[in-house]
C-alpha cells in the first residue's frame, strides 16, 4: 500500500474529533466492563465458551474488516472493476459455509483452544509446534500491517505523524484486550461492525448520487475500460487477457478453493470467535451468520472504488498523484460534511483496530497455550497462565508496533498479505482437510505436508514468478497459482509420507476424523437453538444460493 496522496487532507473540525473521542471512550468502557467476566485462562482466551451466536457471528465478520477489506478492496474495485466480487461470493462464502457445517464440529467437540492444538491431537508435536510458530509469527505481522495501514490513512487525512497513529491505536488495543481478554475484543468488534457500516454506507450512497446512479456509472466506466470492466466473468477465458491476470480456472481453484478455504477454515483469528460460542450449535452458526453480511459488504467497498474511477479517470496511472488505495479517502474528502466525516474517520479507525485486535487476541492464545504452556513452562496453576496471557498480549502489541514500521517497506499490502496466505494458510488447510477425511494419514505426514506446501508455494512465487521463469501477468494471478502449487505439493507429500510411516492408533482418532464422531453430551443444552430458522444447514445453503444469485446481474 503506497502512502496516500498528500492532497487528501480532510477538513475535520471539533465535531469530528468529538465523535472520534466518544468512540475511544466507549471502546475502553467495554474493556473495563468485560474485566468482571475474566476469572480463568479460558475466560481470557475463549470468553469461557459462553457467547451467543449473533455476537460471535458479527465479531467473526468484523475481525475480517481490516486494512485490506476497506481500502484494499475499494482499490481493487477501482483497478479491476466488478471482478472484485470474486473475493466475496466465491472467495469467502463457500469456505465460511464449509467451516460452519463441516469443520466446526471437529474443532468444538475436540475442546481445543486453538487451531494448532487440533493438529497436536490429529498428528503429533512436530506438526503442532511448527504450525504454532508459523501462526504466531504471521499474526503479529498481520497485526502490524493493520497498524501501518491505519497510520498512513490518519497521516494523510488528519495530519497526525505515522508514529503517533501507530502508538496511540496500539495502546488502545493493548488496554482493552489486556483488561477484558477475548470478550472485550469480541464485543468491541460487534460495535466496530456497526461503526464501519455507518462509515461506508454514506460514502456509497452519496458516491452513487454524485455520478448519476449505477447505470450512468456503468456507461462511463464501460467507455473508459471496455465492457468486461463491469462484469464478473468477462475476459476470464483461458488465454484471454484481462487486468486481473487470471482466468476462470485459476479464479475458481486458486481463489475460490485453495486460498479461500485455506484462509477461512484455518485462520485462528477468525475461528477463535466461533470457539468462544456457548455451544456447538452456536459455534456452527457463527461463520454462517457472518456469511450473510459478508455477501453484501462487497457493495460498500466496491462501489466507492468504481465511483472514484469515474470521478478521477486517471486514478492509479503515472499521470496522477492518486493511487487506487486513495479511492475511499478521496470520496470522504469530496462528499462528506463534518459530523458524517467524523463517523467515516472513526469507521476507518474501527476497521483497522478490529483487524489488529483479532490478530493480537489470537496470537496471545496460541503463544500461551500452544507454545509456552505446552513446551516451555508446564504444569503451572491456571492463574499463572492467565497472568502470562496478559503479559504476552502487551508484548504482542509492542511487537505489532515494530512490524508496523517493517510493513512500511512493502509497496502493496494487499498482494503481500495474500502472498502470506498462500505460503502459510494453504499448506495448513491441506494438512487439515486430509487429516480430517483420511483416517490413514500418518502422524508424521502432517509436519512434512506443512513443510512441502509452504516450500513449494515460496518456490513458485519467488523463483518461477519473480524470477521470470513463467510469465504471470500480476501479483494476484501469481498468488492464485502459488496457492494451487502449495496445495498440490502438500497433498502429494502427505500421501507419500503416509505410505512409509505409521498411522495414529484408531483409539486416538475418535472425533478427529470424519466418521469417528460421537455425540457430545453438551449438545443436549442446544434445545433452544432448534428453531427451523436457526438450523445450520438452512443458513449455510441459504448463503450459498444467495451468493450464487448475486452473480446473475454481473455475469454478462
> With 0-12 CB in 10 A as exposed, 13-18 as middle and 19+ as buried, what is 384?
middle
Instruction: Return the HEC string of 158-216.
Output: HCCCHHHHHHHHHHHHHHHHHHHHHHHHHHHHHHHHHHHHHHHHHHHHHHHHHCCCHHH
User: Quick one: fold of 6-517+528-554?
Assistant: Sodium/glucose cotransporter (1.20.1730)
pLDDT of residue 1: 44
What does pTM read for this prediction? 0.84
Q: Within 10 A of 466 (CB to CB), how many other CB atoms are there?
A: 12
Cell digits for 155?
497521516
At residue 228, the 3 state secondary structure works out as helix
pLDDT of residue 541: 95
Q: Tell me the C-alpha distance between 476 and 315, whole Å.
A: 19
pLDDT along the chain (556 residues), means of 10: 58 84 85 79 78 90 77 85 91 94 88 86 92 87 78 73 78 79 80 87 92 93 87 78 73 84 84 88 93 94 92 82 81 86 83 78 89 91 90 88 70 65 85 91 93 91 76 68 89 95 87 73 55 85 95 82
Q: Tell me the C-alpha distance between 457 and 259, whole Å.
A: 12
Amino acid at each position: 500500500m503506497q502512502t496516500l496522496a498528500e492532497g487528501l487532507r480532510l477538513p475535520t473540525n471539533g465535531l469530528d474529533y468529538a465523535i472520534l473521542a466518544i468512540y475511544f471512550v466507549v471502546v475502553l468502557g467495554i474493556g473495563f466492563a468485560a474485566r468482571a467476566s475474566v476469572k480463568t485462562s479460558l475466560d481470557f482466551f475463549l470468553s469461557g465458551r459462553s457467547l451467543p451466536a449473533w455476537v460471535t457471528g458479527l465479531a467473526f465478520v468484523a475481525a475480517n474488516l481490516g486494512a485490506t477489506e476497506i481500502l484494499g478492496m475499494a482499490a481493487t474495485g477501482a483497478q479491476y472493476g466488478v471482478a472484485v466480487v470474486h473475493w466475496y461470493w466465491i472467495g469467502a462464502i463457500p469456505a465460511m459455509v464449509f467451516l460452519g457445517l463441516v469443520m466446526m464440529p471437529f474443532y468444538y467437540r475436540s475442546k481445543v483452544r486453538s487451531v494448532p492444538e487440533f493438529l497436536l491431537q490429529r498428528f503429533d508435536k512436530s506438526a503442532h509446534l511448527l504450525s504454532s510458530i508459523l501462526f504466531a509469527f504471521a499474526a503479529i505481522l498481520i497485526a502490524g500491517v493493520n497498524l501501518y495501514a491505519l497510520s498512513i490513512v490518519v497521516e494523510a487525512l488528519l495530519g497526525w505523524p505515522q508514529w503517533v497513529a501507530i502508538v496511540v491505536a496500539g495502546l488502545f488495543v493493548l488496554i482493552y484486550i489486556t483488561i477484558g481478554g477475548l470478550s472485550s475484543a469480541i464485543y468491541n468488534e460487534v460495535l466496530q461492525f456497526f461503526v464501519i457500516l455507518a462509515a461506508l454506507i454514506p460514502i456509497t450512497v452519496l458516491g452513487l448520487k454524485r455520478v448519476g446512479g449505477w447505470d450512468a456509472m456503468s456507461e462511463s466506466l464501460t467507455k473508459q475500460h471496455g465492457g468486461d470492466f463491469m462484469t464478473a466473468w468477462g475476459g476470464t477465458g483461458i488465454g484471454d487477457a484481462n487486468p486481473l491476470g487470471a482466468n476462470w480456472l485459476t479464479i475458481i481453484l486458486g481463489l475460490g478453493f485453495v486460498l479461500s478455504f485455506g484462509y477461512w477454515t484455518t485462520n485462528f483469528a477468525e475461528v477463535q470467535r466461533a470457539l468462544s460460542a456457548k455451544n456447538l450449535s452456536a459455534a456452527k452458526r457463527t461463520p454462517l451468520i457472518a456469511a450473510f453480511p459478508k455477501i453484501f459488504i462487497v457493495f460498500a467497498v466496491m462501489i466507492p472504488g468504481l465511483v472514484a474511477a469515474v470521478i478521477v479517470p486517471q486514478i492509479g496511472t503515472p499521470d496522477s498523484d492518486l493511487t487506487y488505495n486513495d479511492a475511499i479517502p478521496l470520496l470522504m474528502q469530496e462528499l462528506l460534511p463534518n459530523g458524517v466525516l467524523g463517523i467515516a474517520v472513526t469507521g476507518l479507525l474501527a476497521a483497522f483496530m478490529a483487524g489488529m485486535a483479532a490478530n493480537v487476541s489470537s496470537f496471545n492464545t496460541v503463544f500461551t497455550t500452544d507454545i509456552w504452556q505446552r513446551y516451555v513452562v508446564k504444569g503451572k496453576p491456571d492463574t499463572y497462565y492467565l497472568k502470562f496471557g496478559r503479559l504476552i498480549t502487551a508484548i504482542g502489541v509492542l511487537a505489532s508496533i515494530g512490524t508496523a514500521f517493517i510493513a512500511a517497506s512493502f509497496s502493496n499490502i494487499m498482494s503481500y498479505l495474500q502472498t502470506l496466505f498462500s505460503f502459510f494458510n494453504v499448506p495448513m488447510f491441506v494438512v487439515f482437510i486430509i487429516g480430517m477425511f483420511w483416517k490413514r494419514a500418518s502422524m508424521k505426514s502432517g509436519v512434512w505436508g506443512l513443510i512441502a506446501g509452504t516450500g513449494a508455494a515460496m518456490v513458485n512465487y519467488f523463483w518461477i514468478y519473480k524470477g521470470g521463469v513463467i510469465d504471470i501477468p500480476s501479483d494476484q494471478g501469481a498468488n492464485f497459482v502459488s496457492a494451487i502449487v502449495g496445495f498440490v505439493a502438500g497433498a502429494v507429500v502427505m500421501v507419500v509420507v503416509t505410505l512409509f510411516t505409521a498411522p495414529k492408533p484408531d483409539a486416538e482418532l475418535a472425533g478427529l476424523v470424519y466418521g469417528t464422531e460421537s455425540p457430545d453430551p453438551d449438545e443436549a443444552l442446544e434445545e433452544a437453538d432448534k428453531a427451523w430458522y436457526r438450523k445450520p444447514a438452512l443458513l449455510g445453503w441459504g448463503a450459498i444460493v444467495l451468493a450464487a444469485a448475486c452473480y446473475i446481474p454481473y455475469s454478462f
